[in-house]
Amino acid sequence: MKYFAEIRGKEYEIVVDKEGASARLLMGGKAYHIELDDCAGSIQSARVGNRRVEFGWQRKGNCHTIIVDGVNYPVTIRDSLQRRADEVSRMSVAVKRDAEVKAPIPGLVAKVLVNAGDKVTKGAPILILSAMKLENEIASPIDGTVKSVDVANGSKVEKDQVLAVIV
Amino acid sequence: MKILVANRGEIALRILRACREMSIPSVALYSDADKASHYLTAADESFHLGASPPAESYLNQKRIIAIAKESACSAIHPGYGFLAENHEFAALCEREGITFIGPRSETIRKIGNKVHANELALHCGIPTLPRIVTSSPSAKEIAKNIGFPVLIKAAAGGGGRGMRLVRNASELERALREAQSEAKMAFGDPTVFVEKYLPGARHVEIQILADNRGNIIYLGERECSIQRRHQKLLEESPSPSVTEEIRRRMGRAAVSLAKSAGYRNAGTVEFLLDRKGNFYFLEVNTRLQVEHPVTEMVTGIDIVRRQILIALGERLDIAQKDIRSKGHAIECRICSEDPFDNYAPATGEIAAVRLPSGPFVRVDTDLPRKGTVSLFYDSLIAKLIVWGEDRPTAIARMTRALHEYKVVGLPTTIPLFLHLFKNKKFIKGDTHTRFLEDEVSFEGMEENRATEAALLAALLEHNRRRSSTPRYRTGRPLSSWKKTFFNEPIR
């Protein structure tokens, strides 16, 4: 079975050939023998060639986050059909012209500094985001007018949540 | 004696463990977010403080005192952060007849203020850095009297908060704004001052212990130069750049400062050590510090235990000449921050943890298994401390322990340390306070185990798909036509 693994923009083509518990994977012209242990939970172990490895694992849909040496590798696995389907949908996404100001980290909006309709310059502070006892000034990425402010003083925000839109 | 621990997380656990070991009954406190936190299991009793935001819980002085009285506690240990250096809280304890495990409120008020502490240091003949003390200094004033680069610091502050590095006049305005705002939020006082910044200098601090009878000793030094945004990430003892002679001079300076302030209990005197072996006084931290374990590992002295004994009125029974440092200790702060994404902090669920252990490995953590990292508190998940007979052994041991440590669910600073330990300058001990920010890059680090991750993920996904599709005994999936034929009665 052929799969496409994508990690942070880089793609790997992998063929999985499984016989019982043990599997033979082909990637980049090399063969790997992997045997996964039957573990419940987020810490898994496996035999990869001659080594036994322990790694962290979390899954969301077809995205498996593998944690090795403390590094999180979010790996999206798709088969040929899914990959083709995703390519098609990517080509039909409209280009956004508004600049969305997103939260770089999760936190609490300590103070909103602008209103809809205000003119701002690139780098002008839009709001103060407080997170884990540190204050961060969030600045406008472009010159323009504030189209909308989507949060209020005291709002709790997630990472990448839209805080404001500048046009 | 009965001790109430007015803190949370790993430091609360540390103090509660000391109480257990000394057979002293203990009380812990929890906010909504900490209802199921691990540290509560180390206390004899625990009480609900209030809602999660610190102002309503761990900073709620009235409520904390009320609980202390309700549970008949005779002493309060404030830990670090929160109310630890709040002189008003210390004074409140004193008025209520509750022993505050730390210095007297007057001492905290005086030397907790960086401006006053600086004056005291000068009075003791300890070198200090040139500075300007006005809330909004002009760039011209600075350039004339001190010269850029400078550091803006909160007068009432500590822990690296409310600090901003200003390299030139154009950065001054925004940096002042941010620092004042952060200072107001963290310490309730937006007053800042401006101090000369010494590039290439190292952060070296001296641990002191003083009883209530004027006996004061120093327990060696800690080097804390590996920092990011003025927050320490790695600390070690002894410092690779401190000679016996420098140690003696720094230690004596710290003790003389403490003596003239009438200091009691544990504290830390911070210095900046330049590349010529000159040191300059920075500030005094009138509390137990996060990195106290490295001193404990090399001196064999239990600092928290000593704090409690001092608070009980015991005389310090160790003489300066008895303090010996053996071997080398390193502490890595494991935080829920992503070093690959400019240390963006992450909050949320930790699905699983596997702690390292083995010879001379210590883990101080409130998350030994799964749990939650709340956005109301800081990002410290654990302190990993190791001891080795010398520095290279300690580094090798820490590397081994970091490989064993597994945290699933949030990014951590683990890969940062693994990468740092391969840095030639770090291995030589040649660091300074901007080392991490200026000289350590993460280029190419990620690809390390990416291929392995891809393979494992592919196999896991493959297994998942196969197990969710009904099959023939030969392993081929059943066609939908046949599934329908077998499952639905033909009419």
Candidates B375, B399, B402, B404, partner chain A, best to mutate (most A CBs within 10 A): B375
What values do phi and psi take at A101, rounded to 5?
A: -95, 110
Q: Max alpha carbon distance in chain B (Å)?
A: 103
Q: Max alpha carbon distance in chain A (Å)?
A: 65
A36, A42, A55, B120, B418 from A39: Cα distances, Å: 8, 8, 11, 61, 27
Query: Predicted ipTM?
Result: 0.74
In B, minimum Cα distance to A156 occurs at B375
Torsion region of B327: left, alpha or beta (phi above 0 gives left; psi -120 to 50 gives alpha) = left
Quick one: DSSP state of residue B149?
A: S
Q: pLDDT averaged over chain B?
A: 91
The structure tokens 């005389």 sit at: B315
Candidates A6, A73, A108, A111, partner chain B, best to mutate (most B CBs within 10 A): A73
Residue B66 has pLDDT above 70, yes or no: yes
Tokens of B59: 């900073």
Q: What's the pLDDT at B475?
A: 53
The pLDDT tens digits of the residues spanning B277-290 come to: 999 999 999 999 99
Q: What's the pLDDT at B159?
A: 66
The structure tokens 């939970």 sit at: A41
Q: Across residues A57-77, what is the average pLDDT?
A: 91
Q: Across residues B162-183, what is the average pLDDT?
A: 85
CA distance B151 to B167: 9
Establish how many alpha carbons lie within 13 A of residue B303's alpha carbon, considering only the half-sphere containing its beta carbon: 29
Q: Across residues A120-137, what is the average pLDDT?
A: 80
Tokens of B229: 């945004």
Q: Across residues B443-457, what is the average pLDDT?
A: 79
The alpha-carbon radius of gyration of chain B (Å, integer) is 26
Segment (H or E) for B170: helix B169-187
In A, minimum Cα distance to B413 occurs at A70
Among the listed residues B305, B271, B270, B267, the one whose alpha carbon sits nearest the alpha carbon of residue B286? B267
Residues in Cβ contact with B84 at an 8 Å cutoff, skipping those fewer than 6 apart: B7, B78, B102, B286, B287, B288
In chain A, what residues touch B415 (CB-CB under 8 Å)?
69-71
Q: Are the beta carbons of B86 and B54 closer than 8 angstroms?
A: no
Active-site residue numbers of B?
Answer: 287
Higher pLDDT, B488 or B11: B11
Tokens of B260: 């003239």
Q: What's the pLDDT at B135?
A: 62
Q: Is the pTM of this model over 0.90?
A: no
Among the listed residues B124, B72, B121, the one whose alpha carbon sits nearest the alpha carbon of residue B98? B72
Flag if A57 and B408 touch (Cβ within 8 Å). Answer: yes
Higher pLDDT, B467 or B4: B4
**Which of B338, B411, B461 is opposite residue A77, by nearest beta carbon?**
B461
Residue B440 has pLDDT above 90, yes or no: no
Q: Are the beta carbons of B426 and B435 closer than 8 angstroms?
A: yes
**Which of A12, A34, A133 is opposite residue B186, by nearest beta carbon?**
A133
Candidates A14, A132, A153, A160, partner chain B, best to mutate (most B CBs within 10 A): A132
Tokens of B80: 């670090």
Q: Find out whether the peptide bond into B149 is cis, omega within 30 degrees of 0.
A: yes
Distance from CA of A49 to the nearest CA of B (A): 11
Q: Across residues B227-232, what is the average pLDDT?
A: 88
User: Strand runs (DSSP E) across B149-210, as ranges?
Assistant: 150-154, 164-166, 192-196, 202-210
Q: Across residues B33-54, what is the average pLDDT?
A: 96
Q: What's the pLDDT at B414?
A: 95
| Positive/negative CA dihedral, B137, B138, B139, B145 | negative
CA distance B12 to B357: 21
Q: Are the beta carbons of A125 and A76 closer than 8 angstroms?
A: no
Torsion of CA B147, B153, B156, B161, to 10 degrees: -170
The alpha-carbon radius of gyration of chain A (Å, integer) is 22
Q: In three state form, how does the secondary structure of B371-389 look?
A: EEECCCCCCEEEEEEEEEC
What is the band of A83 on the pLDDT scale with cuts at 50, 70, 90?
Answer: confident
In B, minimum Cα distance to A110 occurs at B185
Q: How many helices (H) and strands (E) does chain A have?
A: 1, 16
Flag if A106 and B375 touch (Cβ within 8 Å). Answer: yes
Q: What's the pLDDT at B472?
A: 53
Residue B490 has pLDDT above 60, yes or no: no
CA distance B405 to B353: 8
Among the listed residues B431, B133, B158, B392, the one whose alpha carbon sits nearest the alpha carbon of residue B273? B431
What is the band of B447 on the pLDDT scale with cuts at 50, 70, 90?
Answer: low
Establish how many alpha carbons lie within 13 A of residue B64's alpha carbon, considering only the half-sphere containing its beta carbon: 31
Q: What's the pLDDT at A88?
A: 79
Range scoring the smallest mean pLDDT among B17-21, B312-316, B479-483:
B479-483
Q: Across residues B342-365, what is the average pLDDT?
A: 93
What is the band of B491 on the pLDDT scale with cuts at 50, 70, 90?
Answer: very low
CA distance A17 to B160: 54
Q: Are the beta carbons of B377 and B366 closer than 8 angstroms?
A: no
Torsion region of B197: left, alpha or beta (phi above 0 gives left; psi -120 to 50 gives alpha) = beta
CA distance A98 to A167: 5
Q: Across residues B487-491, what is the average pLDDT?
A: 54
Torsion of CA B237, B239, B242, B244, to 10 degrees: 20
Q: Are the beta carbons of B79 and B11 closer than 8 angstroms?
A: yes
CA distance B463 to B457: 10
The alpha helices in B349-446, defined as continuous H runs, are 391-404, 414-420, 424-428, 435-439
Higher pLDDT, B153 or B458: B458
CA distance A55 to B406: 7
Q: Across residues B288-305, what is the average pLDDT?
A: 98
Q: What percent of chain B has pLDDT over 70?
A: 93
Torsion region of B400: left, alpha or beta (phi above 0 gives left; psi -120 to 50 gives alpha) = alpha
Q: What's the pLDDT at A94?
A: 53
CA distance B29 to B54: 12
What values do phi and psi take at B372, rounded to 5?
A: -125, 140
